[in-house]
Chains A and B, each alone.
Chain A
Amino acid sequence: MAHLTLVQAINLALAQEMERDERVVILGEDVGINGGVFRVTEGLVQRFGEHRVQNTPLDESGIIGVSIGLAMAGMRPIPEIQFEGFLGPAYDQLVNHAARYRNRTRGAITIPLTLRVPVGGGIHAPELHSDSPEAIYTHSPGLKVVMPSTPRDAKGLLISAIRDPDPVIFFEPKRVYRSFREEVPEDEYTIPIGQAKVVNEGDDVTVVTWGASVFQCLEAMDNLPEDVSIELIDLRTIDPIDTDTIAASVEKTGRCVIVHEAPLTCGLGAELSARIQEQCFLHLEAPVQRVTGFDTVMPYYKLELEYLPNAERIGKGIRECLAY
């Protein structure tokens, strides 16, 4: 066991998969000698060579388009886009090509690529470096969307993503990159895509979240009275959604608060609350509560902590849900 940050755990998973499978190649802006802007790929070009850790031109659509070609020709590309705010130019390649190829060729051509993208706010970054677009890609059929919140989950989920025969977007919450360390097994292991994790068992209210918000929820729970029993679920995979784990919890608690950084309207919380009313209508004691970013553009960093769900706002949401 090593004591690793999220960045180190991802780096370890990449190195182990590159060692195991020579079809795995990394490509993106500054991923070579610079190790990527967050240093996630640090040391890999020295270890595996430039032909497997390729610096590319500054062209997000190009990075994904070329990765699609590599994938259809039998390689296992891991493209990196530097920030989620720069996914825009790659949207066409992701949604109109990567996501559709298996279906439109009735299985003849498949696209096993793993797109790594730092995501979310809270690190005082410049504009377009702090968004949370996970719902956009969840709404697009043909893509899997993963967002781990801990080093241990990140390693296991990334290995699953790389070995997955279909395209996976692997969002890395940048606020968690170096925020803490935990024990991460040295050996390779996988965590299945599509399985949520119950972080804390409880009986009074279910809190569903993912990514960096997991830690804001934990802080909010610390601030609530001790007799409030909260079941905290870390979704880990955004698409496909683990409805069963959520439904089982809400059937037990009868109350649910959903927390995400992304804007409210048509955010993932909307889909989750629709599913909860489909699955648990007669178990609900209160309307499903959402604590989310606002329907504003992501503010510059002086106001980002007003925008992002914090422990205080989450705590208020939980108390209101309990009091209904």
Chain B
Amino acid sequence: MPRTTVYKASIDYLQILDEDGVLDESLGMEDGRPILSDEQVMYLYEQMWIGRELDEIAFKLQRSGRMGTYPQNKGQEANGAGSGFAMKKGVDYIVPAYRENITMHMHGLPYHYILLHWMGDERGNKIPEGVLTTPISVPIGTHMLHAVGIAWSFKLRGERERCVITYFGDGATSEGDFHGAMNFASTLSVPLIFYCQNNQWAISVPHEQQMNSPTVAQKALAYEMPTIQVDGNDVFAVYKATRDARAHCVENCAPYFIEGVTYRLGDHTTADDARRYRSEEEVAQWAAKDPLIRTRKYLESREVWSDERQLELEGRAKKIVQEIVAAAEGIEPPVSDDMFVHMFAELDDDLRRQCETLRTSSIGQNPDQAGLKAEHQNA
């Protein structure tokens, strides 16, 4: 019996814009032009900057007691911005985890919804009609299955121009539901992009303790899915990979996998102190690869960005974020009825009674019981 190789594979890594903001023209140009026009890069840079500003203010809101636990997106912005830009707003569906503020916003979610979520208010998840994103998902690695279902519904209804993208971290790939979602997407063959934001750390557990595979991208090989690793701090590479993945998904009604190699510059959340488990040197190395810095350098090299424009953006971002905070803090407080009225389309008697009395003791459940004993004894 012969012994033959029945499977061979390799993983590509894509970087177009390097740490100094220099564009690789062989990869970043098409038809003699950069794949993203200067206007588009400025738009993405502004989105990333405003997202970063919101992140910094959100951190301060938590520290000053005006908001609960919050997970910063800082350092990972190019992933959400570049990929979100490649998806079609109002057509495609976004299924995020919780470091995709920019993506959700680019697809129509007002930013104050995200603050409301972290301020402990469900109205932050009340996605407006026509905005095609699911809300922030906290339980790790469980929401990608929902993305499979949404993508499958597109296929079942023959909506062949639509695609779904779902985001998750490196830690999520250890969950069974990650593999379940990959397997379902692959066997059902649905138009879905799996986007892993590999930020190197799952709270305090580093990549090498999370998995023994050098890339996350290679996990897709087991599901016979096209897969690529990109520099997640390079908005050009993220955009191009996602644009091409989307085209593949729509054309073939099939899934695609992207690993964005990036870094969480902040703590896991405001409840965490990353200095306990990672070195300042490591953080400094990654800070030098900051997506905002290199995108700005690129724009300056194109001579479309100046210190004046930067100052204008910084001022505008501050104002925008102030308005976002005002919108989140200005909302009327929720009332206790809100807990109950959305449990089901129609409330059952138990819920109605609990809602009306806000009590769970037996007498509270049936206030008529309170006087019954006396009546009984008098009778």
Contact = CB atoms under 8 A, between A and B. Distances in A.
B139 A92 contact: yes
Q: Which of B142, B145, B187, B345 has the most CB of A within 10 A?
A: B145
A75 B145 CA distance: 15
A131 interface: no
B215 interface: no
A159 to B, nearest CB: 17
Interface stretch (A179-187, A240-248, A307-315): A240-248
Closest 5 CB pairs of A and B: A69-B149, A65-B145, A62-B180, A240-B348, A73-B153
Nearest to A66: B149
Contact of A70 (B139, B152, B176, B339): B152
Given A56-B184, A62-B177, A70 B338 contact: no
B42 interface: no
A227 interface: no
Contacts of B122: 103-106
B7 to A, nearest CB: 20
Of listed A61, A69, A107, A141, residue having the most chain B CB within 10 A:
A69
Contacts of B351: 240
Interface in B55-92: none
B343 A102 contact: yes
A73 B149 contact: yes
Most buried by A among B143, B146, B343, B362: B146
A280 B341 CA distance: 28
Q: Which of A25, A57, A65, A92 has the most CB of B within 10 A?
A: A65
Contact of A244 (B146, B188, B349, B372): B349
A92 B344 contact: no
A306 interface: no
Contacts of A62: 145, 148, 177, 180-181, 183-184
Nearest to A103: B342
B51 interface: no
B117 to A, nearest CB: 9
B193 interface: no
A237 B137 CA distance: 31
B369 interface: yes
Contacts of A74: 153
Contact of A93 (B145, B150, B151, B369): B145
Interface in B122-148: 122-123, 125-128, 134-135, 139, 142-148
Given A66-B152, A103-B342, A105-B122, A57 B147 contact: no
A141 B150 contact: no
Interface residues of A, number: 53
Contact of A61 (B128, B150, B176): B176
Nearest to B137: A97
A232 interface: no
Contacts of B154: 73
A228 B1 CA distance: 78
Contacts of B93: 73
Nearest to B365: A278
15 contacts: A54-B188, A57-B180, A62-B181, A65-B142, A69-B147, A72-B149, A75-B149, A103-B343, A105-B125, A105-B127, A108-B127, A108-B128, A240-B350, A240-B351, A243-B349
Interface in B336-369: 338-339, 342-345, 348-351, 362, 365-366, 369
A188 interface: no
B343 A68 contact: no
Contacts of B376: 282
Nearest to B128: A108
A125 interface: no
A128 interface: no
A97 B143 CA distance: 9
Interface in A270-307: 274, 277-279, 281-282
Nearest to A242: B349
A97 B146 contact: yes
Most central of A57, A67, A77 by chain B CB within 10 Å: A57
Contacts of B8: none
Given A69-B147, A70-B152, A104-B125, A97 B142 contact: yes
Interface string A206-245: 0000000000000000000000000000000000110110
B134 A72 contact: yes
Given A72-B146, A165-B345, A65 B125 contact: no
B344 to A, nearest CB: 5
B275 interface: no
B150 A73 contact: yes
Given A72-B146, A106-B342, 15 more contacts: A59-B184, A61-B145, A62-B180, A62-B183, A65-B148, A66-B188, A69-B149, A70-B153, A72-B134, A74-B153, A75-B153, A89-B176, A92-B142, A103-B122, A105-B126
